[in-house]
Amino acid sequence: MTEAVRHMQKKICSQAMMGALAGAVLLIIIGEKAMGKGLVLGALFSVLNFILMGFFLSSQLSPSRPRASAAALGSIFVRFALLAIPLIIAAKMDALDFLGVVIGIFMVQLSILYDQVLKKFIKHKDS
């Protein structure tokens, strides 16, 4: 894995976890403890999914097309199975809110959206 990918992962994952923790604290303060815990659980698995995506990236760039396709398909199955774990846990446990877990699973994507789109839009608007 290249240093640039590792740096981007660290930045995005840190933003995702900080956002999830801030959201969880806010939710716990307003009395939605189950949703706050679900948000953090979903964000943890979202970060793990993002890290695995970077890890599997090199195997998907194989010069052999069949091997690269098999690696990509295997990566998708592993990552989808990984993301199913917090959903199953939330569906079976009353201590976790299912919607909170779903929102948490999208924390990495929301962090990327914030980092790449909203920050630039805000800077452009201020100019």
Q: What is the pLDDT of residue 62?
A: 67
Q: Is 107 inside a domain boundary? A: yes
Tokens of 100: 């909170």
Q: Is 127 inside a domain boundary? A: no
Q: Answer whether 67's CB lies under 8 Å from 74's CB.
A: no
Mean pLDDT by 10 residues, the chain (127 residues): 82 94 97 96 96 79 79 89 96 95 96 84 70
Q: Is 108 inside a domain boundary? A: yes
Q: Is 73 inside a domain boundary? A: yes
Separation CA 105–CA 88 (nearest Å): 13
Q: How many distinct structural domains can be found in the chain? A: 1
Q: Is 54 inside a domain boundary? A: yes
Q: Is 90 inside a domain boundary? A: yes
Q: What is the pLDDT of residue 59?
A: 67
- The domain in which residue 114 lies consists of 3-122
